[in-house]
Amino acid sequence: SDLHAFLQALPKCEHHMHLEGALTPSVLFQLAAKNKIQLPSDDPAFTSPSTLAERYNQFTSLDDFLHYYYIGMSVLMDASDFEALAWDYFTHASADGVVHAEVFFDPQAHLSRDVSYDVVLAGFMAARSRANSEFGISSELICCFLRHLPAADGLATFKLDAVHASFSSGQVVGIGLDSSESPFPPELFKDIYDAAKASGLKRTAHAGEEGPAAYIKGALDDLDVSRIDHGIRLAEDPALVKRVAEQQILLSVCPISNVLLRCVSSVAELPIRMFLDQGVRFSINSDDPAYFGNNYLLANYCAVQDAFGLSKDEWSGICEAGINGSWCSEQRKEEML
Ligand code: HPA
Ligand code: ZN
Average pLDDT over residues 80-102: 98
Contact (CB, 8 A) for 247 and 278: no
pLDDT over 80 (residue 282): yes
Q: Which of 89, 178, 257, 263 has the most ligand 1 atoms within 8 A of CB, as the residue to mutate?
A: 178
Residues marked active site are found at 209
**Is 43 within a domain?**
no
**Is 71 within a domain?**
no
pLDDT over 90 (residue 112): yes
**Is 124 within a domain?**
yes
User: What's the gap in Å between 206 CA and the centre of ligand 2?
Assistant: 7
User: What's the gap in Å between 238 CA and the centre of ligand 2?
Assistant: 24
Complex ipTM: 0.96
- Per-residue pLDDT, 204: 98
* Number of domain units in the chain: 1
At 175, which CATH number?
Answer: 3.20.20.140
Length reported for the chain = 337
Owning domain of residue 296: 4-24+81-336
In order, the DSSP letters of 207-251 are: ESSSS-HHHHHHHHHHH--SEEEE-GGGGG-HHHHHHHHHTTPEE
**Is 87 within a domain?**
yes
Three-state secondary structure call for residue 144: strand
Three-state secondary structure call for residue 5: helix
With both helix axes pointing from N to C terminus, report the angle between 79-95 and 297-308 in degrees, rounded to the nearest 10. 40
pLDDT level of residue 2 (50, 70, 90 thresholds): confident
pLDDT over 80 (residue 163): yes
- Per-residue pLDDT, 34: 98
Whole-angstrom Cα distance, residue 201 to residue 186?
Answer: 17
**Is 33 within a domain?**
no
**Is 118 within a domain?**
yes
Name the burial class of residue 187, with classes exposed (0-12), middle (13-18) and buried (19+) by CB atoms within 10 angstroms of its CB.
middle
Tell me the whole-structure pTM to 2 decimals: 0.97
- Pocket lining for ligand 1, CB < 6 angstroms: 18, 21, 62, 69, 178-179, 206, 209, 257, 287-288
Three-state secondary structure call for residue 104: strand
Q: Which helix (H) or strand (E) holds 331?
A: helix 330-336
204 contacts: CB under 8 Å, gap ≥ 6: 142, 174, 175, 176, 177, 225, 226, 227, 228, 229, 252
